[in-house]
Structure 1
């Protein structure tokens, strides 16, 4: 799958919101921020950076908080991605609006310029360039990417009128008025960002956007039905990595061809092992003869022993899955060991360093 969207003209700046702790993904995020988790062979944000660059973004300000120094360590000045990167850190979490306002101190755009704002935990195939051009053409204060979901009651919904103007932001309700939700990609006019209070907690969803609507400013909805995924849970994280490897969402950052699997350098995969479903085999990982791995993410240096089965799961760095073990829809933390004959059922999370002896079947969601 390829994309041929024209880039945005000019030097577009962006803010990338990466301050969250990723608690829903624990234990995967105990030592690594969610946006840095290995996803289809590279840190998750590498996919966002590559797509932003393809759409004409040239400079990005990271809005960091949790383990802030790790972002600079991972991406440096951005030259490897053809970008200029800056880092702004919140000493205390400031919410979405406060984070945007804090990061804006590093922007160089003039007051009337569009500024792209991206949530750091979203995979999206929508046309960012067209969203920016629509924002500029309509003279909007803010233009929000909206996506359609089957169950909007889980997210809250964003109704629009016939012109695309957003009319309200509705909290989660059992009877939503629309199936369109906020998809986590915004285009702000720079001067609007500067009206957000500086140095305090602000929510764009509960304060900034409703305030702009009430004041009569144009808050525009850019709705489409392209690929979209919030990777905030283990199941969604696995799905995102799998979809990138399979080519369901194109990414310039994918370190290899799309297909049934992606095997990173130094990995050892037996010819008698079966690797399928968009699985990733991490660097220096070992998959032995007779092992069956489908739709999963195998961390660097892990070992999947002969006859083991791993389905739709995450196996952490240096973890070991012994002969005959079965793991489905589960997370095995870094350095953990699953002994022979164990079966980890859907929702199980095995924390780093835990060792399960032989045939110690686990049903709990946290171990």
Structure 2
């Protein structure tokens, strides 16, 4: 397969992941030991992508200092910023100014908040062989009522884009990875707010253009919520989804440089222990993401949670499905459950209180 160009959509504000995204764009959040996008970049490189254009908006200036020119990944990276948000279609059109592809060449478009194990190379080959206008990765989910669904005919042609409905006609949904023919991108109005899901794709279907669905049942996860973010990081550490960017061997936990995990602590479930963080004897950390310079004290229990850089979880504290902001302190006796979020710098004093709402 010839070298590919790609556009990476990273302009979202990640509001569902606050407070983690107050100072950091969602695609840069540490995930299994590296910024989330590092996994996407490494995977794209493995399928022959060599040039990627970042379509940025929210905190746009933070991306280039992290990834530079892409040489560390064997890639060439460029950055195109929307001064005002242009929607998915507008972002793709804006970023395409940095592409060098010919009008009939395939261009890969990736959403910056998806983990997927599907065969990108086969999706591109299918697109080229069928001479499609756009080829969409479709995935099957147990509960399609939470998503818009994408029906196809027996040949794989997409017949419609349907909004969320209590009675979906299919369990296949848009998985957020597209292959465009370059000329189709160039037909999107420049400088305008355009949604590919609501405008571009339905318009192509109505015009009789071939919009293909590439459906499979491989690993797929939208990491847009704290619970999904934690699960994605844990799945990468456990090896449920292979990533060339993982900075260590797969296993029950991944300890980064300078981390200290007591042999008398329970650390498992794909936990990441950030650089210089400490997990003391008798502590339990399961399926969680610990940032850098954290302390999990003896007797503390952390399950399916995110603990931000420099936070301290005191002896006897219990966290389940919680998000702890940078520098926060959870005192002994506190029990945080049901998706509680503690904002950066907050100190919960030693007590015996069960929190079920944000603090």
The one of 232, 239, 251 equivalent to 2:243 is 251
Q: Secondary structure at the match of 1:324?
A: coil
Matched, 1:97 2:89: yes
Segments of 5+ residues of structure 1 without an aligned counterpart are 1-8
Matched, 1:134 2:126: yes
Contact 2:137–2:176 (CA under 8 A) maintained in structure 1: yes
**Residue-by-residue CA offset, 1:282-322 (whole Å, 9 max, x unaligned):** 00101111101000000000100111000000000000000
Matched, 1:71 2:79: no
Segments of 5+ residues of structure 2 without an aligned counterpart are none
Contact 1:348–1:362 (CA under 8 A) maintained in structure 2: no
Q: Aligned equivalents of 2:247 and 2:265: distance in 1?
A: 22
After TM superposition, the structure 1 = structure 2 runs for residues 33-52 of structure 1, keeping only pairs within 5 Å, are: 33-52=25-44
After TM superposition, the structure 1 = structure 2 runs for residues 1-367 of structure 1, keeping only pairs within 5 Å, are: 9-359=1-351, 361-367=353-359
Q: Secondary structure at the match of 2:231?
A: helix
Q: Aligned equivalents of 2:205 and 2:354: distance in 1?
A: 50
> What is the CA RMSD across the aligned residues, in angstroms?
0.6
User: TM-score, length-normalised on structure 2?
Assistant: 0.99
Contact 2:338–2:356 (CA under 8 A) maintained in structure 1: no
User: TM-score, length-normalised on structure 1?
Assistant: 0.97
Structure 1 window deviating more from structure 2 (354-363 vs 277-286): it is: 354-363
Contact 2:234–2:269 (CA under 8 A) maintained in structure 1: yes
Runs of 4+ in 1 over 3 A off after TM superposition: none
Deviation at 1:269, TM superposition (A): 1.2
Q: Aligned equivalents of 2:263 and 2:254: distance in 1?
A: 15
**Alignment match, 1:3:** none
Deviation at 1:360, TM superposition (A): 5.1
